[in-house]
Amino acid sequence: MFGYIFLFLTLILIEHFRRGRVWALWLLPPLFVLWVNTHGSFVIGLFLLGFYWAAGMVRFQAGDPVGLEAEPWTRRQRLDFELVMLFSVLAVAVTPYGTRLVGYTVHMLLDSKLQMSRIQEYLPLGGLRLKILLVLILAFLVAQVVLRPKYRLDDLGLLLVTLYGPFVHERLLLFSIAVFTPLLAMLLARWVPKYDQAKDKYLLNAILMVMAAVLVWVKIFPSRQDLQKAVDAAFPQGAVEYLQRHPVPGRMYNPDFWGAYLIRNLGREHKIFIDGNAQPFEDAGVYSDYLRIGDLDRDTPLLLRKYRLDACLTQHWGALATYLSASPDWEQVYQDNLAVIFVRKKQ
């Protein structure tokens, strides 16, 4: 979410610059220092800078009447933009790890094939949200024929790029919304009276905003009890309590999305098999073996021996649990409505 906030701020600052406020552009380098130390989506921010810089290099008009146009930067604007781009690129090296953090981010983007194929947010958009997006795109296309609006080339180009994003990775949906919403507002503005500052009621606006914030806090923001219920439903609390009372000697298999929970609750003396930070495990070849074990590959018995696993913590309904419950080499020592623990029988 911080990454998306920085993304929105970048779009806002570039828009201010396009309207002649040069000072806004110089806020981008310190913004990128915060961004690179917060989330890997800073790469999208750099892409935005490059995109708008390239769009400002051409003059273009199309349509009758003119419906699509591009106005090149002035010499001064181009110089300011190029200097800010340079300082922004240098800014992403201002981390405790120098440029290695940038390299690691690029490495994840290019070399995370297994994660991209298994983690939901990296998969193409589907379900109800896909249907809603398609309806919006269709309505937007109809509006182009009926209303014949006028666009800047960079706005329309960025819209096409961002609308393609959710069809590749679900998590890029919010990026497309950030670009699509202002263009939709431009279409709807035809039926909205022009802004009149004299009609603003600042006190009333402030009261309404406070009331909305209170409503969100009271009705939507989860209580500690709700959060605890969510944790209990998703994470093996009972299994952890069992392991605290009956530590399992040797190495134990666990699902990746339980890894951080086990680290937090069992401490460093308990060595987990894998956690949600899958990239180092994928680089080492462990992640593919982890998936084969969980999916009950034909080599699962060999992989359990390869990693010298003496215990397995997994979901009780999974294929691995079914296999271990039927294996004469394993013994079930704990089960609840979420998790089950097996230990290897002593020979």
Q: What is the mean pLDDT of the chain?
A: 90
User: DSSP states of 247-264 as a string?
Assistant: PPPSEEE--GGGHHHHHH
The reply to whether 153 and 52 lie within a common domain is yes
Residue 159: inside a domain = yes
Determine what percent of the chain is predicted with pLDDT higher than 70. Answer: 99
According to DSSP, the β-strands at 68-70 and 60-62 are antiparallel
Residue 122: pLDDT band (50, 70, 90) is: confident
How would you classify residue 296: left for phi > 0, otherwise alpha for psi between -120 and 50, otherwise beta? left
Residue 182: inside a domain = yes
The reply to whether 287 and 163 lie within a common domain is no
CA distance 60 to 96: 44
Query: In Å, how far are 110, 131, 195, 254, 337 from 283, measured between CA atoms?
Result: 12, 36, 55, 19, 34
Q: Calculate mean pLDDT across residues 83-110.
A: 92
In sequence order, the 6+-apart residues with CB closer than 8 A to the CB of 91 are 29, 30, 32, 33, 36
User: DSSP states of 175-197 as a string?
Assistant: HHHHHHHHHHHHHHGGGSPPP-G
Longest CA–CA span in the chain (Å) reads 85
Domain end, chosen from 191, 215, 242, is at 191
Number of domains in the chain: 2
Dump pLDDT digits (tens) for 170-196.
988 888 888 888 888 888 888 888 888
- State the residue range of the domain holding 281: 231-344
Specify the higher pLDDT residue, 186 or 94: 94
Helix residue ranges, H only, 119-235: 127-147, 153-164, 173-188, 202-215, 224-234
Dump pLDDT digits (tens) for 29-53.
999 999 999 999 999 999 999 999 9
Residue 200: inside a domain = no
Coil, strand or helix at 203? helix
86, 98, 94, 80: which is closest to 35 by C-alpha? 94
The reply to whether 180 and 34 lie within a common domain is yes
Answer yes or no: are the C-beta atoms of 290 and 256 closer than 8 Å.
Answer: yes
The reply to whether 69 and 140 lie within a common domain is yes
